[in-house]
Amino acid sequence: MVVVMEPGSGEDRIQNVITHLKEMGFDVHRSDGVNHTVLGAVGDKTDVDIRQLEVLDGVHEVVRISEPYKLASRMFRHEDTVIRIGDVTIGGEEVIVAAGPCAVESREQIMRIAACVRESGAKLLRGGAFKPRSSPYSFQGLGEQGLRYLREAADENGLLVITEVTEIGQIDLVTEYADILQVGARNMQNFMLLKQLGTKKKPVFLKRGMSSTIREWLMASEYILSGGNREVILCERGIRTFENYTRNTLDISAVPVIKKLSHLPVFTDPSHGTGIRNKVIPMALASVAAGADGVIVEVHHDPDHAKSDGAQSLYPGQFAEMMMQLRAIARAVQRRVVDIADNGEEKRP
Amino acid sequence: MVVVMEPGSGEDRIQNVITHLKEMGFDVHRSDGVNHTVLGAVGDKTDVDIRQLEVLDGVHEVVRISEPYKLASRMFRHEDTVIRIGDVTIGGEEVIVAAGPCAVESREQIMRIAACVRESGAKLLRGGAFKPRSSPYSFQGLGEQGLRYLREAADENGLLVITEVTEIGQIDLVTEYADILQVGARNMQNFMLLKQLGTKKKPVFLKRGMSSTIREWLMASEYILSGGNREVILCERGIRTFENYTRNTLDISAVPVIKKLSHLPVFTDPSHGTGIRNKVIPMALASVAAGADGVIVEVHHDPDHAKSDGAQSLYPGQFAEMMMQLRAIARAVQRRVVDIADNGEEKRP
Amino acid sequence: MVVVMEPGSGEDRIQNVITHLKEMGFDVHRSDGVNHTVLGAVGDKTDVDIRQLEVLDGVHEVVRISEPYKLASRMFRHEDTVIRIGDVTIGGEEVIVAAGPCAVESREQIMRIAACVRESGAKLLRGGAFKPRSSPYSFQGLGEQGLRYLREAADENGLLVITEVTEIGQIDLVTEYADILQVGARNMQNFMLLKQLGTKKKPVFLKRGMSSTIREWLMASEYILSGGNREVILCERGIRTFENYTRNTLDISAVPVIKKLSHLPVFTDPSHGTGIRNKVIPMALASVAAGADGVIVEVHHDPDHAKSDGAQSLYPGQFAEMMMQLRAIARAVQRRVVDIADNGEEKRP
Amino acid sequence: MVVVMEPGSGEDRIQNVITHLKEMGFDVHRSDGVNHTVLGAVGDKTDVDIRQLEVLDGVHEVVRISEPYKLASRMFRHEDTVIRIGDVTIGGEEVIVAAGPCAVESREQIMRIAACVRESGAKLLRGGAFKPRSSPYSFQGLGEQGLRYLREAADENGLLVITEVTEIGQIDLVTEYADILQVGARNMQNFMLLKQLGTKKKPVFLKRGMSSTIREWLMASEYILSGGNREVILCERGIRTFENYTRNTLDISAVPVIKKLSHLPVFTDPSHGTGIRNKVIPMALASVAAGADGVIVEVHHDPDHAKSDGAQSLYPGQFAEMMMQLRAIARAVQRRVVDIADNGEEKRP
């Protein structure tokens, strides 16, 4: 931390700031310039509210020089985190696609969609059983029944299950059925939930809050990592901006930013990121071109009658087309999309 | 709902949309214009995802003509909701002030602050026992011990207790000690929590999410109201914008907007709204001038050593000064700030 | 400026940064900590692009320690800037109100509105002659004819004229008719225009760009001030945020922030700030409660038929009511609204 | 336009709205529902301020059903606009790259950079002669001298010149030297400038304002198109959001959105869009993957000593690498990057 004093702030005030810094556990290096005295505070502290210093008399500005997150940082761990679940490797050379409906609606629905997304090359099956809806009058999901259908559909097709947990009380139940536990954007700063997930052994798929900075997102991952669970996958899903033609603005630049700051794998969600079906494919391609480790998209065989998010769900044919194009893009950036059906061999378009 | 068809969309597509609308439970009124056919969908439905219609072939635009919330709406209830807790009336002529530290840190701290905020005219004592902090390495609150101290300090001074509940598992515990249950900005769309609070008999103080629209905020209140709990107080606490001189941008215009759309009382939180101590007073005055039913502010007798948010906490002397000015502003808009000490008599400045 | 080097960045890289800083004209103070080497760059430079340093090898972070503006800063000039034009004093104890239609539409219209706003206590008459409209198909203003009507209406009623200049070629013409030259939000960073206005002798009313930070706004004023024109009035008029219930979000906290950073007077524009007639009064009151030196509002005797912005224009009766309430608010914060008619005497409500 | 009346708004109010609509030149279709009366206003009007109707008594909501722009719309012109300048075709199958320094600094600098960007496959040479800088104390460009150097460097290398015009007074001068006239983000709503450019015969490269909606951006293009100049190229250059790790947030989803709404070619500017050199390449690739017709990037042979924007300028080697990768991405989406050197033959990586 660096504290810059105001010009002519006087020795008393400088000493007062030094005292505060020492109380906080820092070593202090002082440097007197022509106008400003600058105090460098050295020490391995991550829990400091810098505004506490900013309000001291005579302080001009306070600057944090180390990031508040540690375990999520590439300084802490230089190599990419690679997560292996069964045959699936996340964060490696392969680009991974998660696909499925917004919500599990029936056994027949999820079986049908699972088969078609597998056929086109998805490795993970998505689908919500507990739906956090902005209206209390909307469909809230099938609950445990939905989890059961999801597991069955995934097993039938050799897919992994990724599904959302919206509340501490659901963790154990969801853990029974899922391979990856998703934390939705609205829960990104539900710290109680994150803490509990930190004590589990399942990978956590952490969506970025719709108005969260990249720093806050990494701090949220720190809650999970510091609990002992080192398998976190980050997912950019669109931020809230003034533009309302799209439902959110998919911040694709977050992909290369995260790749620099952190060792964690990063996905994007072009379905929620745009909210419009015909924008999903270009944004999925753009994400992989920018370096994403995977994408998660919504697919429905009958989106006109989907109980939620039908408008942003791809038809199976569109999903197949997207996978074809993703293969070409992945190759262009020296990565691969691998088909289950081909036993590890890449399908030629 | 109004569905506008594209020019030349053809009878088939129009019929298809009509079919969809009827399946959704609407009556349909058709009007054929020179360029556009317009379908008016009539019916008392609040759970429709309008994008579901937007993606149908031939649809140009879909417009919701009724708000998705009901119970929170002034159409549903014309008169202001007035909440009475003991001697305190929220949402009436009186402007109510809640004050106290960000977090309860010790018995001595909360006793001391409670006495001074009461002396200056606060009616509610605030203070966090469970702190949702953006860093897992920061002070997380005293838990139940904090609640006990808070209750004692409030009782000693004839104040009511308002404190945050961050998780379903805490509701019963917090309900034992608090008069008003606060839902923080980060939990505004924690729908599971809201649903549970809807079944309780305690007033809920619902902060606006930092990137939530006013509509989403009212929808969140709908979760509580539709559970049977009709005592919700809304609190604007600053939204996230590109400006970063202030921590957030306190959206004071939300006050008159809510007053028009809803019957619920509305407060502001100028401490979180600005994040800077010397901006708190002007923004508190501005809030009451704009019609707020109250403000909630952070006060600490020794903010330099506060365990959280010291930088935005007022000194007791500043708080006394703020109360003096608030009295003058309240009078200017035909409202009142009433002192406990004066038995209902207004203190003359 | 403070440059923080990465841990283990090595002597070569440190020396390279020192060389760069010296080339830029800084004196360098070096401080070696346990993890980080910190370089304090001392010198009176305001034109440095700090990203130029951020990209050097081994640099962790660069922090500007002095603001990039000078003449606008309260460090440069401690006392408030007070602007006197005829009998009107802007930036002093008195709260000044500018009122009038969005656009001058006819001689009769502006004469009528001028009389009524004067009657209620306005000191400045606003009205556009050159209208920058977002559609090329909308009414673009009466041009010089409009300026002539505006001057006549102001003279008739003892008011000053404030009107917008949208382009360098108009400056001389507008200067002939106006007392205060307004720069609209869309032109806040039209630096060529600002530079020209810096060479004139008329006060400039500089609106904040709808997505400009407070720092950029002060930098824009610096363009005018550094040309020699020291009479700049700042005007907050709403920023663009995700909330779209209001047209913009009036950032009232900008008022106390500017008051701290700068000596320049600051107004707000609640008409453009909200875009909705019935939100104008509460936001005008809030602005003065927060410390604004004045407000500018749109008034029209027949807003239903106004050629622009009718929806946000007050009726004359509403304007009279606003002025009454503003008087009470001004008194509550130890300021005054003074009537022309009363020869300096304050009208009692 | 569709006007939805409030429930029980009464026949008088309905008739009043109908009268207003007719005065505005609309035909009115009325539809009485159970709760709401809906008025469909039919007519070819683009200059209506819908708020004018919203404030009428009894009006619940007003909805525009046709976009306010015409000539820019894909409804007006179904086929893509393709712009041909010499041998260069913009908006066709080929992906076009514009490259060069932020500002022309000297003859030697621009000659050197022109040669290297041409070598790697750029078709347009960018470089500013008039620089709109946020600080009046920063380098403001070489003016006409800069234009002369730019033209010479382009001619020497078979490139086209694209450069910014910041003010009406510069148009004729810049037109003499440039092939494409750029309008910067800060001037996107400088309507006087746009109008003048509408009367010229040169293609205009219109950057999106940093807080402009896509609709406002298309309206700005309408100013140029309606003046008779049909050659407009749109360029997304990053919007302002709360995230400040990147300088702006490059809204790549604007590319497919524009492609649907308009027939105009669309570029992106990943240099300004991110502000960070090592984020430029991934965002350029992402843009082309999403369907952009080209990108414009900053390149400097010695960015450490660039007079502006050095931090976001690519080194020549990085630019060459970007072009290589762009070729692969373009192929993956069935487009091409063509080298000048190869006489229309695509270079094999």
Residues C102 and C215 in one domain: yes
Q: What is the pLDDT of residues D167-180, one digit of tens each?
A: 999 999 999 999 99
Query: Which residues from chain B sit within 8 angstroms of residue C331, using beta carbons?
Result: 328, 332
Query: Would you call B245 an interface residue with chain D, using a CB distance cutoff of 8 Å?
Result: no
Please indicate, yes or no, if residue D308 is contained in any of the structural domains: yes
Shortest distance between the Cα of D336 and any Cα of chain B, in A, equals 32
Average pLDDT in the C40-65 region? Answer: 75
Model ipTM value: 0.87
Q: How many other C-beta atoms can be found within 10 angstroms of the C-beta atom of residue D79?
A: 7
Average pLDDT in the D118-129 region? Answer: 95
pLDDT for B100:
96
Which comes out higher in pLDDT, residue D303 or A257?
Answer: A257
pLDDT for C348:
42
The Cα–Cα gap between B42 and B25 comes to 9
> C189, D134 in Cβ contact below 8 A?
yes
The minimal CB distance from D56 to the residues C189, C190, C304 is found for C304
pLDDT for C216:
93
Q: What is the pLDDT of residues C62-97, one digit of tens each?
A: 877 667 788 999 888 999 999 999 999 999 999 999
Which comes out higher in pLDDT, residue C114 or D63?
Answer: C114
Q: How far is CA A158 from the centre of its chain?
A: 24
Contact C65 A65 (CB under 8 A): no
Where do runs of H (alpha helix) occur along chain B? 11-23, 51-54, 107-120, 144-157, 171-177, 191-198, 214-225, 254-261, 270-274, 277-289, 316-332
> D69, D206 in Cβ contact below 8 A?
no
Average pLDDT in the A195-209 region? Answer: 96
Contact C33 A35 (CB under 8 A): no
Average pLDDT in the A62-84 region? Answer: 86
Please indicate, yes or no, if residue D337 is contained in any of the structural domains: no
pLDDT for D41:
77
Query: Which residues from chain C sit within 8 angstroms of residue B251, using beta carbons?
Result: 241, 243, 249
> B213, B188 in Cβ contact below 8 A?
no
* CATH code: domain of residue B278: 3.20.20.70
Q: How many other C-beta atoms can be found within 10 angstroms of the C-beta atom of residue B260?
A: 11
Please indicate, yes or no, if residue C6 is contained in any of the structural domains: yes
Please indicate, yes or no, if residue B133 is contained in any of the structural domains: yes
pLDDT for A340:
64
User: In a 3-state reduction of DSSP, which class is residue B124?
Assistant: strand
Instruction: Please give the mean pLDDT across all residues of chain D.
Output: 89
pLDDT for D162:
98
Find which of B4, B65, B212 to mutate to test the D interface (most D CBs within 10 Å of its CB).
Answer: B65
Contact A135 B210 (CB under 8 A): no
Query: Would you call A262 an interface residue with chain B, using a CB distance cutoff of 8 Å?
Result: no
Of chain D, the percentage scoring pLDDT greater than 90 comes to 64
User: In a 3-state reduction of DSSP, which class is residue C311?
Assistant: helix
The minimal CB distance from B219 to the residues A135, A187, A195 is found for A135
pLDDT for D49:
74
Residues A58 and A88 in one domain: no
* CATH code: domain of residue A8: 3.30.70.1140
Residues D17 and D49 in one domain: yes
Name which of A239-243, C152-156, D48-52, D252-256 the model is least confident about: D48-52
Find which of B253, B274, B285 to mutate to test the C interface (most C CBs within 10 Å of its CB).
Answer: B253
pLDDT at B311 over 90: no
Q: Write down which residue in D35, D63, D91 finishes a domain.
A: D63
Residue with structure tokens 């430029």? D280
Strand D83-85 to strand D88-90: parallel, antiparallel, or no bridges (unpaired)? Answer: antiparallel
pLDDT for B345:
45
DSSP string across C244-256:
-SSSSB--TTHHH
Predicted model pTM: 0.87
Residues C15 and C90 in one domain: no
pLDDT for B46:
61
D:161-200 residues touching chain C, CB 8 A cutoff:
166-169, 186-187, 189-193, 195
pLDDT for B67:
72
Q: Write down which residue in D19, D35, D63 finishes a domain.
A: D63
Maximum pairwise Cα distance, chain A: 76
Average pLDDT in the B127-149 region? Answer: 85
Q: What is the pLDDT of residues B251-308, one digit of tens each?
A: 999 999 999 999 999 999 999 988 888 899 999 999 999 999 999 999 999 887 787 7
Shortest distance between the Cα of C225 and any Cα of chain B, in A, equals 22
pLDDT for C346:
44
Please indicate, yes or no, if residue D73 is contained in any of the structural domains: no
Quote the radius of gyration of chain B (alpha carbons, Å). Answer: 23
Average pLDDT in the B209-224 region? Answer: 94
Enclosing domain of residue B22: 2-63
- Report the chain A residue with the minimal C-alpha distance to residue D333: A325
How many Cα atoms sit within 13 Å of B15 on the Cβ side?
3
Query: Would you call D137 an interface residue with chain C, using a CB distance cutoff of 8 Å?
Result: yes
Please indicate, yes or no, if residue D175 is contained in any of the structural domains: yes
The Cα–Cα gap between A200 and A172 comes to 9
Residues B225 and B256 in one domain: yes
The Cα–Cα gap between A255 and C139 comes to 45
Give the pLDDT band (50/70/90) at residue B114.
very high
Query: Would you call C19 an interface residue with chain B, using a CB distance cutoff of 8 Å?
Result: no
The minimal CB distance from C243 to the residues B242, B251, B329 is found for B251
Residues B146 and B216 in one domain: yes
> C206, C265 in Cβ contact below 8 A?
no
Residues A151 and A231 in one domain: yes
Closest CA to B112 of B150, B74, B144, B165: B150
pLDDT for C198:
95
Contact A223 B51 (CB under 8 A): no
Please indicate, yes or no, if residue B72 is contained in any of the structural domains: no
pLDDT at D337 over 60: yes
Shortest distance between the Cα of C86 and any Cα of chain B, in A, equals 31
Query: Would you call C318 an interface residue with chain B, using a CB distance cutoff of 8 Å?
Result: no
Query: Would you call B257 an interface residue with chain C, using a CB distance cutoff of 8 Å?
Result: yes
Two structure tokens written together for D160 = 């086209």
Residues C155 and C120 in one domain: yes
pLDDT at A59 over 90: no
Contact D241 A239 (CB under 8 A): yes
Give the pLDDT band (50/70/90) at residue A344.
very low
Instruction: Please give the mean pLDDT across all residues of chain A.
Output: 89
pLDDT for A343:
45
Two structure tokens written together for C180 = 């205060």
Residues A227 and A327 in one domain: yes
Residues B50 and B122 in one domain: no
Residues B27 and B139 in one domain: no
Query: Would you call A349 an interface residue with chain B, using a CB distance cutoff of 8 Å?
Result: no
C83's enclosing H/E stretch is strand C83-85
The Cα–Cα gap between D292 and A274 comes to 17
Of chain B, the percentage scoring pLDDT greater than 70 comes to 94
Cα–Cα separations (whole angstroms), residue D161 to C102, C205, D158, D180 = 41, 38, 10, 6
Q: What is the pLDDT of residues C237-280, one digit of tens each?
A: 999 999 988 889 999 999 999 999 999 999 999 999 888 888 99
Residues C147 and C238 in one domain: yes
Query: Which residues from chain A sit within 8 angstroms of residue C38, using beta carbons?
Result: 2, 29, 31, 38, 40, 65
pLDDT for B7:
76
Q: What is the pLDDT of residues A315-336, one digit of tens each?
A: 999 999 999 999 999 999 999 9
Contact A244 C244 (CB under 8 A): yes
Please indicate, yes or no, if residue C346 is contained in any of the structural domains: no
pLDDT for D57:
85
Instruction: Give the count of domains, chain A.
Output: 2
Name which of A188-202, C10-24, C51-65, C169-183 the model is least confident about: C51-65
Q: What is the pLDDT of residues B320-343, one digit of tens each?
A: 999 999 999 999 999 999 876 554
pLDDT for C344:
43
Of chain D, the percentage scoring pLDDT greater than 70 comes to 94
pLDDT for D62:
82
Average pLDDT in the C209-231 region? Answer: 94
Q: What is the pLDDT of residues A4-48, one digit of tens each?
A: 888 778 899 999 999 988 888 887 877 776 667 878 777 666 667
pLDDT for C345:
45
Q: What is the pLDDT of residues C307-320, one digit of tens each?
A: 777 778 899 999 99
